[in-house]
Amino acid sequence: MTRLADTAIDKLRGNVDGQVVLPDDDAYDAARAIWNAMIDKRPAAIVRCASDSDVVKTVNFARDNDVLIAVRGGGHNIAGNALCDGGIVADLSQMNAAKIDVPAKRATVEGGARLADFDAAAQAHGLATPLGINSTTGVAGLTLGGGFGWLSRKYGMTVDNLESADVVTATGKVLHASETENPDLFWALRGGGGNFGAVTRFGFRLHEVGPNLLSGLIFYPIAEAKTVLQQYRDFVAKAPDELVVWTVLRKAPPLPFLPTEVHGTEVLALAFLYVGEAEKGRSLVEPLRHFGKPAGEFIGVQPYTAWQQAFDPLLTPGARNYWKSHNFTKLDDGLFDKVTEYIGKLPSVQCEIFFGAIGCATTKPAPDAMAYAHRDARYVMNVHGRWDDPADDQRCIRWARDFFEASAPYASGSVYVNFLTADEGDRVGAAYGGNYERLAQVKRKYDPENLFRVNQNIRPG
Ligand SMILES: Cc1cc2nc3c(=O)[nH]c(=O)nc-3n(C[C@H](O)[C@H](O)[C@H](O)COP(=O)(O)OP(=O)(O)OC[C@H]3O[C@@H](n4cnc5c(N)ncnc54)[C@H](O)[C@@H]3O)c2cc1C
């Protein structure tokens, strides 16, 4: 269905405060553009919701007219679940306020806010909660899948810091979910994705962070990758919760602190943040500089918000992207051989493989404490295929899939739901793990007809 009945749409248009964008409107192509340019979906209508009441009306419209509905937060989902073909989109991106209660160290964040909106508001008071590493990502999708980033070893997954959510459910009711109100729904929202309704507002616990922190990047030539990775693994195992170090393998971007002869060559980068006093951090990170002979480095104290945006230039919207991901409980030498082999055959200058180190606080809750189940994961690996020319689609996708297969024997078998691509429906069980059946029970209670199904879907029946 690509066109909704004019009368129904006219009625909705007259009813909501926000704009309703239709296929014939000039704004349509911009309104249906999302981060991953591989996604080319054509909704019949996009409602740019301006209020909770707009979200309720859009959900009611979809249900009453038996129309597919997608909910859009930041539009970063690699699988393209912010959009649907032929249905209606509840686009929350205009609802992006983040309010901070400083004495209570609590944030109230609207369902369309991006990480940058939240970080900026909280950091104005020296506060933060764990979020992801690219500031244009949506708070909503990231949180509902679990959420991890530079603060996670110290303060846990994003969901570990969620205290409440206001949700427009399939009946059009707005429910408040917390440990004490609708606790089953609150349990499911913390890792169960967008399956249970449209979240208009999140309540987060905040921590004192920065605002200035030691961070940096240390680059090694790829020839040293295996020995650097071995030392990295041993270093991370002993590092305090405050120190997080991720590894990225790719072709070196033309960064000003790298010698020009290094630009475009295969490198391993250690990216780190120390969530504490900078001088202590300097001595703690010193060994990272002696894993081999660095090709270049940048280490300095900078605002946490700047570090949160440091990788944005490599992750701009509009490129073609295809991801494959595994969780790891440990890193084996055999995996390092595979990584270096595949970095030797990168199909584009933008492709990369990264290992995001979590652990410490992320491992503390029980696997069934909330929907996010993967408390044994120490590393989240993403094979990030990224390129510009559609003619490169098959080559780049092939590379990502081949490395994914080659690295599978070393992985835990589970996967982060927010890194699943559109063609990975068979991995939904691995994403929700042992919590799937309980999630299905909650789904039966709050969305028995599966109105919210444009996501990594939990089936009610
Ligand atoms: C460049 C990049 C970097 C990333 N880095 C990290 C990272 O460091 N850590 C991490 O944990 N993840 C990371 N991610 C993954 C990210 O968490 C997911 O892509 C997530 O789905 C993005 O959320 P969004 O709101 O932007 O997405 P959208 O595409 O808008 O939505 C994603 C899903 O959430 C649902 N949804 C969105 N908003 C709402 C809402 N208000 N209520 C209910 N359901 C909603 C949608 O229906 C959809 O199913 C990254 C993604 C990208 C593209």
DSSP secondary structure letters along 330-379? S--HHHHHHHHHHHTT-SSTT-EEEEEE--GGGGSS-TTSSS---TT-SE
Per-residue pLDDT band at 369 (split at 50, 70, 90): very high
User: What mean pLDDT comes out for the span 86-102?
Assistant: 97
pLDDT single digits (tens) 342-353: 999 999 999 999
Residue identifier of the C-alpha nearest atom 34 of ligand 1? 141
Distance 228 CA to ligand 1 centre (A): 32
Which H helix or E strand runs over 232? helix 225-238
Q: What are the residue boundaries of the structural domains of the chain, listed by start?
A: 6-91, 98-209+434-446, 212-419
Mean pLDDT for 351-375 is: 98
User: How far, in Å, are 46, 69, 93, 174 from residue 16 at the CA level?
Assistant: 12, 16, 15, 17
Mean pLDDT over each residue of the chain, to the nearest integer: 97
- Rounded distance from Cα 212 to ligand 1 centre (Å): 27
Averaged pLDDT, 373-387: 98
Task: Find where tokens 């405060």 sit.
Answer: 17
CA distance 205 to 222: 40
Same fold: 6-91 with 98-209+434-446: no
CB 175 within 8 A of CB 76: no
- Helices 393-407 and 333-343, interaxial angle, to 10°? 170
User: Sorting pLDDT into bands at 50, 70 and 90, what band is 2?
Assistant: very low
Bridge partners (DSSP) listed for residue 298: 217
Mean of pLDDT values over 41-47: 97
Reply yes or no on domain 212-419 having CATH 3.50.50.60.
no
Instruction: Please state, in angstroms and rounded to a whole number, the distance separating the CA atoms of residues 188 and 190.
Output: 5
Is the entire prediction scored with pTM above 0.85?
yes
Of ligand 1's listed atoms, the one at least distance from the Cα of 200 is 41
d(CA 23, CA 42) in angstroms, rounded, equals: 8
Q: Which residue has the higher pLDDT, 17 or 10?
A: 17
Whether 358 and 379 have beta carbons less than 8 Å apart is answered as yes
Whether 332 has a pLDDT exceeding 70, the answer reads yes
Q: How far is the CA of 138 from the centre of ligand 1 (A)?
A: 5
- Report which secondary-structure segment, H or E, holds 60: helix 52-64
Closest by Cα among 332, 322, 349 to 407: 332
Nearest to 299 by CA among 236, 257, 261: 257
Q: What is the pLDDT of residues 243-281, one digit of tens each?
A: 999 999 999 999 999 999 999 999 999 999 999 999 999
Ligand 1 atom nearest residue 315's Cα? 1
Ligand 1 atom nearest to 158, measured from its CA: 11
Question: How many angstroms separate the alpha carbon of residue 89 from the centre of ligand 1?
Answer: 15
pLDDT confidence bin for 85, thresholds 50/70/90: very high
Q: Kindly report the number of other CB atoms within 10 A of residue 286's CB atom.
A: 10
The pLDDT value recorded for residue 171 is 98
| Contact indicator for 196, 174 with CB cutoff of 8 Å | no
Q: What would the mean pLDDT of 213-239 be, rounded to a whole number?
A: 98
pLDDT computed for residue 8 by the predictor: 85
Q: Give tens-digit pLDDT for 52-63.
A: 999 999 999 999
**259 class by beta-carbon count within 10 Å (0-12 exposed, 13-18 middle, 19+ buried):** exposed
Per-residue pLDDT tens digits for 124-142:
999 999 999 999 999 999 9
Q: Per residue in 160-204, pLDDT tens?
A: 999 999 999 999 999 999 999 999 999 999 999 999 999 999 999
Cα angle 80-138-47, degrees, rounded to a multiple of 5: 65
CATH fold of 98-209+434-446 reads 3.30.465
pLDDT at 391: 97
What's the rounded Cα separation, in Å, for the pair 338 and 407?
Answer: 7
- pLDDT at residue 3 is higher than 80: no
Task: With CA atoms as reference, report the closest residue to 276 among 298, 299, 304, 309.
Answer: 304
Predicted pLDDT at 1 = 43
Which CATH number among 3.30.43.10, 3.90.550.10, 3.40.50.300, 3.40.640.10 corresponds to the domain 6-91?
3.30.43.10
